[in-house]
Amino acid sequence: MAPHPLLDLVRRRISVEEFDATHRLSEDQIRDLVADAAHAPSSFNIQHWRFVAVHRDEDKPRLQEIAFGQQQVADAAVTFIVLGDVRGTEKLPQILQRAVDADMMPQGKADAWVRMAGGIYSDETVARDEAIRSATLASMVLMLAAEARGWASGALSGFDAERVMQEFSIDPRYVPVMLLAVGRPVSHDDARKPRLEVDEILAFDRCRIF
Ligand SMILES: Cc1cc2nc3c(=O)[nH]c(=O)nc-3n(C[C@H](O)[C@H](O)[C@H](O)COP(=O)(O)O)c2cc1C
């Protein structure tokens, strides 16, 4: 059986640092990317991910400064501020109700999930870790979706989290997870960066010092 084309995308994706500054994405195209990202899995289907799309010329320099001047943010068509909702469980009854209404989940199971999630995520650290985990998975899907749609991406954790909260009026219930620049690359010929060999990162059945 021929390998699925997704494998090609996974192996082709690279982080782009040089974007074509003349390239624009429409709000519909940005919506499509976020709709793709929303197919990521999340604990209890809480979907902790939230996105602020910074795409206007007047807003990009503000974000670039917060990202320590990184040029990608100025040149990419859009840079997403990817957020994780630390209080994501508050929406869970609503989310699960949609599954109940679609006959995909019995009411009893939905109620049990809400109780379970409420217990697990009453611990602030656990809730924050989970929000970051889910938003990170959505970010990866978004990066692959950008590639599949003919664009390129670059994740950035090099930014001042406190300042991004202030400057973009982000409520403290959201934790900034990463910035994600998406646009048209100046060139997609950059060599793929070397990876550790599989034997350097994989153990079977029990851990070891890698
Ligand atoms: C969470 C995360 C944060 C990153 N932060 C930055 C950043 O601030 N600036 C940057 O130029 N690249 C950043 N990168 C890109 C990495 O340097 C890049 O993914 C890595 O070197 C592997 O290269 P590749 O993505 O092309 O395979 C980041 C990547 C990730 C996943």
Report pLDDT digits (tens) over 66-94.
Answer: 999 999 999 999 999 999 999 999 999 99
The predicted pLDDT at position 191 comes to 81
The predicted pLDDT at position 37 comes to 98
The predicted pLDDT at position 190 comes to 73
Six-digit token string for 165: 């909260």
Residue nearest to atom 25 of ligand 1 (CA): 15
The predicted pLDDT at position 187 comes to 83
Ligand 1: nearest atom to the Cα of 136: 1
Q: Within a domain: residue 30?
A: yes
Q: pLDDT digits over 157-200, tens only?
A: 999 999 999 999 999 999 999 999 999 999 867 788 999 999 99
Q: Within a domain: residue 112?
A: no
Tell me if 46 CB under 6 Å of ligand 1: no
Tell me if 45 CB under 6 Å of ligand 1: no
Furthest-apart CA atoms within the chain: distance in Å: 53
Ligand 1: nearest atom to the Cα of 190: 26
Q: pLDDT digits over 25-79, tens only?
A: 999 999 999 999 999 999 999 999 999 999 999 999 999 999 999 999 999 999 9
Q: Is the pLDDT of residue 1 over 90?
A: no
Span 143-168, mean pLDDT?
98
Ligand 1: centre distance to CA 4 (Å)? 26
The predicted pLDDT at position 14 comes to 95
Tell me if 33 CB under 6 Å of ligand 1: no
Ligand 1: nearest atom to the Cα of 178: 1
Q: Within a domain: residue 176?
A: yes
Q: Within a domain: residue 33?
A: yes
Ligand 1: centre distance to CA 155 (Å)? 5
**Which amino acid is it at 174?**
Y
Q: pLDDT digits over 89-121, tens only?
A: 999 999 999 999 999 999 999 999 999 999 999
Burial of 25 (0-12, 13-18, 19+ CB in 10 A): buried
The predicted pLDDT at position 189 comes to 73
Q: Within a domain: residue 146?
A: yes
Question: What is the number of domains present in the chain?
Answer: 1
Q: Within a domain: residue 103?
A: no
The model's confidence at residue 143, banded by pLDDT at 50, 70 and 90, is very high
Tell me if 17 CB under 6 Å of ligand 1: yes
Ligand 1: centre distance to CA 194 (Å)? 13
Ligand 1: centre distance to CA 115 (Å)? 38
Q: Within a domain: residue 110?
A: no
Tell me if 15 CB under 6 Å of ligand 1: yes
The predicted pLDDT at position 101 comes to 98
CA distance 169 to 70: 21
CATH number for the domain including 143? 3.40.109.10
Residue 165 belongs to domain spanning? 5-90+124-201
Q: Within a domain: residue 45?
A: yes
Ligand 1: centre distance to CA 154 (Å)? 7
